[in-house]
């Protein structure tokens, strides 16, 4: 064989090279070459080539199969080692996986919610051409609300060709309807013009969207309302009786309104109904209480249209506005901005808020960042304890690639396990989260197609990142160095400290916020309200018919045992306010005063325990009390500078030509809060006017409450056959004004708990790392006579300092934010320094408990174990 | 002790017989001769891997050979465990055919 070896055919040789395992490649190809050369000698090159082709083609698939088989065997081996590791370090594995999973869960939940918030009102086909009218007005008082003068909507369509359609919507409110004799409560009944369904894309199940609301006394129901009232029978063409006693035809059924609609209703009746019932109001430009929405042409420019509004307003309202010295500006608010960018005191429904969306997104990002860094950190810290294992493996011949694969595979496995756990946890968390945000969430991760792949990608990336450090650094260690104990990880201490400080700062800020918020809620609930909210039952449905016979109704109720007093009023505390402008005598005609109005009967003040500060209450004997006498509150007296208000007067602006009339102040009531303590007490004027009353307040004896309640219900139903009995306790309704605040408290508390959990994980990672790093130092100290407590103290010092630093960062931030939040209350508990001290002590306590397992274990270890490797 | 498959048994015997010539080409040629048909390298190497994993044989890389265009030969030697496995396989075969004359099979075929 002294000739140069022959080159075998390329194609089968290439095939073999691809199919063979890397370890075999030389052996297999060499064997082929050798045999090919032999055959070429014996039977010639053509025969040898044929053999090579045949043999190569038969061999390649088998080699490939073999390759794959061994791959799987290897993978199974890695998996086995990884799972064995988890089992060996249960606590560590649990903490690490659970921490990362909780972080991911929080992030998922927030992401779902943010996505829902951002998708509001986008389902309408014309969403970007729909606008709501809002106004900025001064009519004796500044007014900024998403409402428009009632005749404005039809007038706009008439005057501006770029407005294709406009609809008015009357405030949705709870009511009752009757199907034959059966009564149904409806939570939200609104009214809208016929063009409503041309503007909004609510899909019809029955009826014609074009004409459904064209005629008076017609109604469109949602699917579930229809099912509630008519069951499975078709609702279309049926009739329902309304609270006004009129019969309404059902002209349409629409699909239930998506949660992501800011406009919601159960029944929509035609606005024509309201026009027919009260044409004067419908045509009054100063009846400003209905909402209005317009649909613009595709080419219309909303800004240009808005610029034409002043002339439009001037045309219809100019002269009156001038005479009262008022002003009114109409604006267009894009539909898609209503949910997140509205900030009106009064709105068609409570809206979301872009700042909370941003805040939550920030929190989600922060939680994700911290949780992932913790995961990476804890994995790294743990792996440093395995430096010796790595050294040993290397001496035994493990190559670097294998070690890297092992570390990477392990951390990726942990991360993926955490992801699976997070998907499970998020289902459990959905309900909890709904409670926190006070809104239903209609989705979960499986309803969003990109969610699972995105989470998988994230888990993979974080898993790889967590494995990268140990894989890269540890596997590169020289075995000898590692075994001598020199291969410890030293870097990143500063980074770890920053991380711990950041995490604890968040914890501390949340602890402070929780404390401040609960204290404030406690404060407003304990504040003297000026009336006694306990044991007052309110019946909110005093109908006109009942008002006629109220004297006898009241007498019947008063006769019941356990009933102390019964009074009627237009409003009760916690159920909104009514305001108007008054002219106290002695002030300039232009200095009108905005006052809360309350119509009461003579028994209302005693029923609520509101005291008279000066003068007298209205008297049933004096007829003049019902015509020209009023009570005011102390705030009003102070505001007008009336030291002795009894006998003072208000001027009633006369109709043209008539003589001036006066309202005489006959008494002053002590200030009482008709609104929550978010709002300041305003001047109030009270009239003796039972015709304005809608609420009946019944003061009860504390004993035998439920029995009394049943008696009242029975009496009420007997006196008002056909009318449903409805009631609530005054304190419940009044306290429900703080529901948003309570929710805020829950939120900070729950996020605070989470933050503490995650922060402790970070601290735990750092502590175990520190202890590991200082094992030998501790051993030597013990040999030299340190006590266990001394060493625990030494190890705790760093932690305490870090937590103190966290407090130093968090306290000013929390102070600033909480001050901002407290500004929402007119009456507030001042921030106390004790809150900050308590939060600091609590955070230090939590931190010390967290690291105690590590430090005590280290301090109690035998010094011989600690220093034997040297 | 793991059972040997027939092909593994054949390979082990071949490696044992070939001694210092037990590398791919020779093993394949020997086995092909024993079987009386072409035995492919694919089957050869997958079986060799199994035997290696069972620690019955041990591979060792030899010197580069010119006829292999510079690629080294990989020689296989039998480990003590491999020898034991061969031994027990042989005993098993012996037990299996004990007291059963060779012609009996032919007779059965005729009958």
Same domain, A159 and A290: yes
Domain final position from A704, A726, A748: A726
The pLDDT confidence band at residue A1, using thresholds 50, 70 and 90, is: very low
**C-beta neighbour count of A237 within 10 angstroms:** 10
Report DSSP state, residue A867. H
Query: Closest residue of B to A38, CA-based?
Result: B67
Going by C-alpha positions, the residue among A389, A420, A386 that lies closest to residue A412 is: A420
Of B45, B46, B67, the CB nearest to A34: B67
Sort out which chain A residues have CB atoms less than 8 A from B75's CB and list them.
none
pLDDT score, position A487: 46
pLDDT-wise least confident of A113-122, A303-312, A340-349, A514-523? A340-349
- Chain Cα centroid distance, residue A211: 38
Same domain, A501 and A478: no
Over 50: is that where the pLDDT of A778 sits? yes
Over 70: is that where the pLDDT of A655 sits? no
Burial of A6 (0-12, 13-18, 19+ CB in 10 A): middle
Sort out which chain B residues have CB atoms less than 8 A from A5's CB and list them.
66-69
Query: Closest residue of A to B45, CA-based?
Result: A63
Chain-chain contact of A33 with B68 (C-beta, under 8 angstroms): yes
pLDDT tens digits, A795-817: 888 889 989 999 999 999 999 98
The pLDDT confidence band at residue A2, using thresholds 50, 70 and 90, is: very low
Domain presence at residue A4: no
Is the distance from CB of A779 to CB of A865 less than 8 angstroms? yes
Same domain, A474 and A594: no
As separate numbers, helices (DSSP H) first and strands (DSSP E) second, chain A gives: 30, 22
Structure tokens at A77: 């081996």
Task: Read off the pTM.
Answer: 0.66
Report DSSP state, residue A442. -
Same domain, A574 and A695: yes
Size of interface A-B (CB pairs under 8 A): 81
Distances from the Cα of A855 to the Cαs of A1, A664, A844, A852, B20, in angstroms? 74, 78, 15, 5, 62
Is the distance from CB of A858 to CB of A780 less than 8 angstroms? no
Query: Closest residue of A to B43, CA-based?
Result: A62
Q: In degrees, to the nearest 5, what angle opens at C-alpha A804 toward C-alphas A798 and A806? A: 105
Q: In degrees, to the nearest 5, what angle opens at C-alpha A542 toward C-alphas A537 and A545? A: 150
Sort out which chain B residues have CB atoms less than 8 A from A70's CB and list them.
49
Same domain, A153 and A233: yes
Same domain, A793 and A853: yes
Percent of chain A surpassing pLDDT 90: 27
Is the distance from CB of A26 to CB of B74 less than 8 angstroms? yes
Domain final position from A726, A753, A768: A726
Domain presence at residue A658: yes
User: Residue range A440-444: average pLDDT?
Assistant: 77
Sort out which chain A residues have CB atoms less than 8 A from B47's CB and list them.
none
The 3-state DSSP class for residue A69 equals: helix
User: Residue range A330-351: average pLDDT?
Assistant: 84
Would you say domain B6-110 falls under CATH 1.10.10.10? yes
Distances from the Cα of A552 to the Cαs of A45, A496, A718, in angstroms? 124, 77, 13
pLDDT score, position A61: 85
Is the distance from CB of A766 to CB of A500 less than 8 angstroms? yes
Bridge partners, A615 (sequence order) = A667
Chain-chain contact of A35 with B25 (C-beta, under 8 angstroms): yes
**CA atoms of A210 and A198, how far apart (whole Å):** 7
Looking up tokens 């990362």 gives: A100
Same domain, A598 and A472: no
Over 70: is that where the pLDDT of A9 sits? yes
Residue ranges of chain B whose CB lies within 8 Å of a chain A CB: 23-25, 28-29, 38, 40-43, 45-46, 49, 65-69, 71-74
pLDDT tens digits, B48-93: 888 888 888 988 888 777 778 878 888 999 999 889 888 888 888 8
pLDDT score, position B73: 86
Of B28, B49, B74, the CB nearest to A66: B49
**CA atoms of A5 and B66, how far apart (whole Å):** 7
The pLDDT confidence band at residue A524, using thresholds 50, 70 and 90, is: confident
Chain-chain contact of A60 with B42 (C-beta, under 8 angstroms): yes
pLDDT score, position A685: 93
Mutate to test the interface with B, among A27, A28, A56, A69 (most CBs of B within 10 A): A27
pLDDT score, position A482: 53
Q: Which comes out higher in pLDDT, residue A458 or A138?
A: A458
**CA atoms of A311 and B81, how far apart (whole Å):** 104
The 3-state DSSP class for residue A549 equals: coil
Structure tokens at A684: 């109030």
Is the distance from CB of A444 to CB of A426 less than 8 angstroms? yes
The pLDDT confidence band at residue A492, using thresholds 50, 70 and 90, is: low
Of A1, A28, A59, the CB nearest to B66: A1
Same domain, A363 and A416: yes
The 3-state DSSP class for residue A625 equals: helix
**CA atoms of A519 and A525, how far apart (whole Å):** 10
Sort out which chain B residues have CB atoms less than 8 A from A61's CB and list them.
42
**CA atoms of A738 and A425, how far apart (whole Å):** 30
Is the distance from CB of A628 to CB of A665 less than 8 angstroms? no
Strands A291-296 and A649-652 come out as: unpaired
User: Residue range A426-455: average pLDDT?
Assistant: 81
Instruction: Kindly list the domain boundaries of chain B, sorted by start residue.
Output: 6-110
Percent of chain B surpassing pLDDT 90: 5
User: Residue range A243-250: average pLDDT?
Assistant: 88
Over 90: is that where the pLDDT of A249 sits? yes
Structure tokens at A381: 């810290």
Structure tokens at A276: 């027919």
pLDDT-wise least confident of A15-19, A268-272, B35-39? A15-19
Percent of chain A surpassing pLDDT 70: 93
Query: Closest residue of B to A19, CA-based?
Result: B42
Bridge partners, A292 (sequence order) = A168
Sort out which chain A residues have CB atoms less than 8 A from B29's CB and list them.
35
Looking up tokens 């003796």 gives: A688
Over 70: is that where the pLDDT of A23 sits? yes
Structure tokens at A647: 């006998």
Sort out which chain A residues have CB atoms less than 8 A from B72's CB and list them.
26-27, 30
Over 60: is that where the pLDDT of A78 sits? yes
pLDDT tens digits, A88-103: 777 778 888 888 898 8
pLDDT score, position A480: 57
Query: Closest residue of B to A70, CA-based?
Result: B49
Same domain, A720 and A596: yes
Same domain, A369 and A480: yes
Chain-chain contact of B66 with A5 (C-beta, under 8 angstroms): yes
Minimal Cα–Cα distance from A41 to chain B, Å?
A: 12
Minimal Cα–Cα distance from A83 to chain B, Å?
A: 23
Sort out which chain A residues have CB atoms less than 8 A from B38's CB and list them.
55
pLDDT tens digits, A390-405: 777 777 666 677 777 7
User: Residue range A632-639: average pLDDT?
Assistant: 92
pLDDT score, position A696: 92
Going by C-alpha positions, the residue among A16, A19, A7 that lies closest to residue A45 is: A7
Chain-chain contact of A55 with B40 (C-beta, under 8 angstroms): yes
User: Residue range A628-632: average pLDDT?
Assistant: 91
Query: Closest residue of B to A74, CA-based?
Result: B53
pLDDT score, position A870: 45
pLDDT-wise least confident of A459-463, A473-477, B70-74? A473-477
Same domain, A863 and A741: yes
pLDDT score, position A248: 94
The 3-state DSSP class for residue B72 equals: strand
User: Residue range A228-232: average pLDDT?
Assistant: 91
Bridge partners, A166 (sequence order) = A294
**CA atoms of A198 and A209, how far apart (whole Å):** 7
Distances from the Cα of B16 to the Cαs of A539, A602, A847, B57, B94, in angstroms? 104, 118, 68, 10, 19
Minimal Cα–Cα distance from A440 to chain B, Å?
A: 59
pLDDT-wise least confident of A56-60, A483-487, B46-50? A483-487
Strands A661-669 and A649-652 come out as: antiparallel
Alpha helix stretches (DSSP H) within A527-624 = 544-548, 550-559, 604-608
pLDDT tens digits, A45-55: 888 888 888 88
User: Residue range A10-14: average pLDDT?
Assistant: 84
Minimal Cα–Cα distance from B83 to chain A, Å?
A: 24
**C-beta neighbour count of A490 within 10 angstroms:** 8
**C-beta neighbour count of A528 within 10 angstroms:** 10
Residue ranges of chain A whose CB lies within 8 Å of a chain B CB: 1, 5, 7, 20, 24, 26-35, 37-38, 55, 58-63, 65-66, 69-70
**CA atoms of A148 and A139, how far apart (whole Å):** 13
pLDDT score, position A39: 87
Of B28, B46, B71, the CB nearest to A30: B71
Over 90: is that where the pLDDT of A254 sits? yes
**CA atoms of A217 and A277, how far apart (whole Å):** 10
**C-beta neighbour count of A744 within 10 angstroms:** 21
Chain-chain contact of B45 with A29 (C-beta, under 8 angstroms): no
Range of the domain at A200: 140-325
User: Residue range A759-763: average pLDDT?
Assistant: 79
Going by C-alpha positions, the residue among A341, A344, A196 that lies closest to residue A267 is: A196
Going by C-alpha positions, the residue among A815, A814, A825, A838 that lies closest to residue A525 is: A825
Mutate to test the interface with A, among B44, B71, B75, B76 (most CBs of A within 10 A): B71
Minimal Cα–Cα distance from B110 to chain A, Å?
A: 37
Is the distance from CB of A228 to CB of A184 less than 8 angstroms? yes
Bridge partners, A568 (sequence order) = A696
What phi and psi, each to the nearest 5 degrees, are found at residue B24? Answer: -40, -60
Domain presence at residue A80: no
Of B24, B40, B42, the CB nearest to A27: B24
The pLDDT confidence band at residue A291, using thresholds 50, 70 and 90, is: very high
Residues A91, A94, A97, A100: is their CA dihedral positive or negative? negative
Minimal Cα–Cα distance from B58 to chain A, Å?
A: 14
Of B38, B43, B69, the CB nearest to A33: B69
The pLDDT confidence band at residue A361, using thresholds 50, 70 and 90, is: confident
Strands A239-241 and A629-633 come out as: unpaired
User: Which of A76-80, A341-345, A491-495, A570-574 reaches the highest mean pLDDT?
Assistant: A570-574
Is the distance from CB of A570 to CB of A587 less than 8 angstroms? no
The total number of residues shown for chain A amounts to 870
**CA atoms of A405 and A735, how far apart (whole Å):** 60
Over 90: is that where the pLDDT of A322 sits? no
Of B25, B38, B66, the CB nearest to A31: B25
Bridge partners, A173 (sequence order) = A189
**CA atoms of A507 and A806, how far apart (whole Å):** 9
Alpha helix stretches (DSSP H) within A444-549 = 451-469, 475-476, 479-483, 493-526, 544-548
Sort out which chain B residues have CB atoms less than 8 A from A63's CB and list them.
41-42, 45-46
Same domain, A509 and A555: no
State the total domains in chain A.
5
pLDDT score, position B43: 86
**CA atoms of A858 and B5, how far apart (whole Å):** 55
Chain-chain contact of B42 with A31 (C-beta, under 8 angstroms): no
Minimal Cα–Cα distance from A46 to chain B, Å?
A: 18
Chain-chain contact of A38 with B42 (C-beta, under 8 angstroms): no
The pLDDT confidence band at residue A478, using thresholds 50, 70 and 90, is: low
What phi and psi, each to the nearest 5 degrees, are found at residue A249? Answer: -90, 135
The pLDDT confidence band at residue A257, using thresholds 50, 70 and 90, is: very high
**C-beta neighbour count of A171 within 10 angstroms:** 16
Buried b (16+ CB within 10 A) or exposed e, A840-861: bebbbebbbebbeebbbebbeb
Mutate to test the interface with B, among A4, A7, A13, A34 (most CBs of B within 10 A): A34
pLDDT-wise least confident of A558-572, A724-738, B96-110? B96-110
């Amino acid at each position: 064989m002294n000739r140069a070896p022959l080159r075998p055919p390329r194609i089968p040789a290439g095939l073999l090279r691809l199919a063979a395992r890397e370890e075999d490649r030389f052996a297999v190809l060499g064997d082929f070459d050798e045999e090919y050369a032999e055959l070429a000698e014996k039977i010639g090159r053509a025969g040898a080539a044929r053999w090579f082709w045949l043999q190569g083609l038969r061999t390649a698939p088998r080699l490939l199969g073999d390759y794959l088989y061994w791959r799987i065997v290897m993978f199974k081996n890695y998996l086995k080692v990884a799972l064995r590791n988890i089992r060996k370090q249960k606590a560590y594995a649990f903490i690490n996986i659970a921490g990362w999973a909780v972080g991911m869960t929080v992030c998922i939940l927030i992401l779902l919610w943010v996505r829902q918030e951002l998708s509001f009102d986008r389902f309408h086909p014309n969403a970007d051409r729909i606008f709501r009218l809002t106004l900025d007005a001064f009519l004796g008082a500044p007014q900024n609300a998403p409402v428009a003068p009632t005749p404005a909507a039809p007038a706009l369509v008439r005057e501006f060709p770029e407005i294709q359609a406009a609809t008015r919507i009357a405030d949705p409110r709870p009511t009752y309807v009757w199907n034959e004799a059966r009564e149904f409560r409806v939570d939200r009944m609104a009214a809208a013009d016929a063009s409503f369904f041309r503007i909004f894309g609510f899909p019809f199940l029955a009826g014609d969207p074009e004409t459904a609301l064209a005629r008076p006394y017609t109604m469109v129901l949602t699917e579930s309302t229809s099912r509630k009232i008519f069951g499975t029978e078709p609702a279309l063409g049926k009739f329902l009786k309304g609270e006004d006693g009129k019969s309404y035809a059902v002209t349409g059924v629409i699909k239930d309104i998506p949660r992501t609609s800011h406009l919601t209703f159960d029944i929509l009746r035609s606005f024509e109904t309201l026009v027919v019932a009260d044409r004067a109001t419908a045509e009054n430009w100063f009846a400003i209480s209905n909402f209005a929405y317009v649909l613009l042409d595709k080419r219309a420019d909303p800004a240009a249209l808005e610029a034409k509004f002043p002339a439009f307003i001037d045309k219809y309202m100019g002269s009156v506005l001038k005479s009262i010295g008022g002003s009114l500006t109409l604006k267009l608010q894009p539909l898609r901005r209503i949910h997140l960018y509205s900030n009106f005191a009064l709105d068609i429904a409570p809206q979301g808020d872009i700042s909370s969306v941003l805040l939550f997104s920030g929190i989600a990002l922060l939680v994700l960042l911290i949780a992932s860094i913790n995961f990476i950190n804890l994995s790294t810290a743990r792996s440093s304890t395995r430096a010796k294992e790595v050294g040993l493996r290397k001496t035994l011949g493990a190559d670097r690639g294998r070690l890297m694969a092992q570390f990477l595979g392990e951390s990726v496995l942990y991360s993926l396990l955490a992801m699976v756990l997070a998907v499970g946890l998020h289902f459990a968390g959905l309900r909890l989260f709904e409670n926190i945000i006070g809104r239903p969430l209609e989705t979960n991760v499986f309803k969003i197609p990109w969610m699972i792949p995105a989470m998988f990608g994230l888990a993979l990336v974080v898993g790889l990142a967590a494995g990268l450090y140990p894989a890269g650094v540890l596997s590169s260690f020289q075995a000898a160095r590692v075994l001598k104990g020199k291969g410890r990880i030293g870097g990143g201490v500063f980074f770890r400290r920053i991380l711990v400080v950041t995490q604890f700062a968040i914890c501390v800020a949340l602890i402070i916020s929780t404390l401040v918020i609960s204290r404030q809620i406690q404060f407003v609930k304990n504040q003297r309200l000026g009336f006694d909210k306990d044991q007052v039952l309110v019946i909110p449905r005093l109908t006109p018919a009942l008002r006629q016979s109220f004297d006898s109704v009241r007498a019947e109720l008063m006769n019941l045992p356990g009933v102390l007093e019964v009074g009627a009023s237009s409003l009760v505390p916690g159920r909104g306010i009514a305001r108007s402008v008054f002219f106290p005598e002695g002030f300039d005609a232009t200095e009108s005063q905005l006052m809360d109005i309350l119509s009461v009967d003579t028994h209302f003040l005693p029923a609520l325990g509101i005291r008279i500060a000066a003068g007298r209450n209205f008297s049933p004997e004096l007829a003049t009390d019902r015509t020209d006498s009023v009570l005011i509150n102390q705030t009003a007296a102070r505001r007008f500078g009336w030291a002795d208000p009894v006998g003072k007067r208000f001027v009633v602006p006369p109709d043209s030509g008539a003589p001036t009339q006066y309202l005489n102040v006959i008494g002053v009531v002590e200030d009482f809060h008709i609104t929550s303590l978010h709002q300041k007490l305003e001047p109030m004027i009270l009239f003796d006017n039972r015709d304005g009353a809608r609420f009946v307040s019944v003061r009860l004896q504390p004993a035998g409450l439920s029995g009394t309640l049943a008696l009242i219900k029975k009496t009420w139903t007997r006196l008002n056959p056909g009318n449903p009995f409805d009631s609530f306790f005054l304190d419940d309704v009044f306290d429900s004004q703080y529901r948003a605040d309570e929710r805020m408290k829950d939120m900070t508390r729950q996020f605070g708990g989470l933050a503490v959990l995650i922060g402790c994980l970070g601290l735990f990672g750092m502590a175990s790392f520190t202890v590991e790093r200082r094992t030998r130092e501790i051993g030597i100290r013990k040999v030299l006579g340190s006590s266990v407590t001394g060493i625990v103290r030494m190890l705790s010092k760093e932690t305490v300092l870090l937590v103190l630093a966290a407090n130093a960062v968090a306290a000013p931030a929390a102070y600033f934010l909480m001050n901002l939040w407290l500004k929402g209350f007119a009456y507030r508990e001042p921030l106390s320094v004790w809150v900050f001290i308590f939060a600091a002590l609590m955070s230090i306590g939590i931190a010390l408990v967290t690291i105690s397992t590590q430090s005590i274990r280290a301090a109690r270890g035998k010094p011989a174990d600690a220093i034997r490797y040297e | 002790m793991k059972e040997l498959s027939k092909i593994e048994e054949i390979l082990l015997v071949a490696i044992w017989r070939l001694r210092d010539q037990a590398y791919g080409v020779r093993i394949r040629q020997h086995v092909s001769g024993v079987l009386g048909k072409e035995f492919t390298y694919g089957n050869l190497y997958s079986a060799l891997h199994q035997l290696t994993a069972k620690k019955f044989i041990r591979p060792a890389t030899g010197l580069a050979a010119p006829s292999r265009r510079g690629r080294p030969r990989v020689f296989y030697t039998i480990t003590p465990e491999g020898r034991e496995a061969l031994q027990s396989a042989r005993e098993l075969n012996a037990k299996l055919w004990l007291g059963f004359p060779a012609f009996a099979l032919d007779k059965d075929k005729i009958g």
